[in-house]
Structure 1
């Protein structure tokens, strides 16, 4: 099963800071990360199949934040393909060690389900990117206890909705086995240039 991009298709990337990449702050509407790399590589390979690429990622967003803006920022654009990466902020990685802040996996799953339902009903092709973490410390290793069930939830949602799954957590774990995690995500969360290149290459492997 592959993503089908026809000439004139509209593809939207959305999620948190990993997708955002300052697209609202710099003179590049796709930001500087993997969405830009996907669009650039696609355009290089397929000048005869032009695609409109959009980015509505916002740094710090959780699933519930996406819900509040989903109609305006996603549904109203009527995209043919929607690619979602959200979840690391639902683990509460900023404050986990201080106050135990965690969004329950059931709430995360239910909110994510509500995001996908209207898109599936409209026949939109879906790409779900697993949230990921390359632990650099004992605190981050502990955070995996909460993240791992949410990764599993994304896998189950992909099956439920017939979405294309980009298994990013496994991808980065395999890559980090030979280089160390910092090469791909200097803080364990946000990809380096190489990490964004890896995400883009994996995304494009899903495409027909």
Structure 2
């Protein structure tokens, strides 16, 4: 009887262990917005909290890999060390603000054709490793909702490049550009430049972090 009990216990433990989902490693690859997202109150931290509330916090390991000032070619140059070496299951790519913004600020930035080429190379390297890729369009450089922010033309164009790449490579897409614009239309009647979703026209405030966390979580958990 005791031997039967032990055998049944072993089978039960084996079954539970075998069907326990493997923890998915998720890397958020980007610039200072992502770097801040990994700090208290940031969107990555908010995502961790939401997963825990859903009872699936142990199913995902969320890792921030953002560096301030990064553009798309910076991501390409450091992806081997900062992403591939960690063998992730899922990677969110959230880049583009500095590629546009630095054109005006410093006379640098990234021309749109080079932006597409580097972005394509990043996607290809990830897909070659059978990593699930989720692309994010850059949200805002200024929160005016009537497309009168200085960089709105470029932001729309670069966002469209990312949408096209998501379709071409069958990647997930979090269209923050569209999501933020729709939010601003409803919640920014004074057409303010900042203070609705950002602290300073670019970096997220608490509302912005919550919105990004909600939308990225939807993409992460999508079947």
Matching of residue 84 in structure 1 with residue 97 in structure 2: no
Larger relative helix fraction:
2
Counterparts of 2:102 and 2:182 in 1: how far apart (Å)? 25
Matching of residue 200 in structure 1 with residue 208 in structure 2: no
Q: CA RMSD in A?
A: 2.3
Please report how far the alpha carbon of residue 192 of structure 1 lies from its aligned counterpart in structure 2 after TM superposition.
Answer: 0.7
Q: 1:133 to 1:161 in 2, by over 3 A?
A: same
Please report how far the alpha carbon of residue 135 of structure 1 lies from its aligned counterpart in structure 2 after TM superposition.
Answer: 2.6
Q: Could you list the structure 1 runs, at least 4 aligned residues long, displaced by more than 6 angstroms after superposition.
A: 137-140
Contact 2:29/2:66 (<8 A) preserved:
yes
Aligned match of 1:171: 179
Would you say how many aligned residue pairs link Structure 1 and Structure 2? 194
| Matched position secondary structure for 2:142 | coil
| Matched position secondary structure for 1:56 | strand
- Identify the match of residue 127 of structure 1 among 134, 155, 169: 134
Please report how far the alpha carbon of residue 107 of structure 1 lies from its aligned counterpart in structure 2 after TM superposition.
Answer: 0.3
Aligned ranges 1:173-192 → 2 under 5 Å: 173-180=181-188, 182-192=195-205
The alignment's TM-score, normalised by the length of structure 1, stands at 0.85
Please report how far the alpha carbon of residue 50 of structure 1 lies from its aligned counterpart in structure 2 after TM superposition.
Answer: 2.4
Aligned match of 2:161: 153
Counterparts of 1:95 and 1:179 in 2: how far apart (Å)? 29
Looking at CA atoms only, which structure, 1 or 2, has the larger radius of gyration? 2
In the alignment, structure 2 segments of 5+ residues that lack a partner are: 1-20, 189-193
Looking at both structures, which has the greater relative contact order when contacts are Cα pairs under 8 Å and sequence separation is at least 6? Answer: 1
Which shifted more, 43-52 or 172-181? 43-52
Counterparts of 1:86 and 1:141 in 2: how far apart (Å)? 19
Counterparts of 1:87 and 1:110 in 2: how far apart (Å)? 13
The alignment's TM-score, normalised by the length of structure 2, stands at 0.79
In the alignment, structure 1 segments of 5+ residues that lack a partner are: 1-5, 24-29
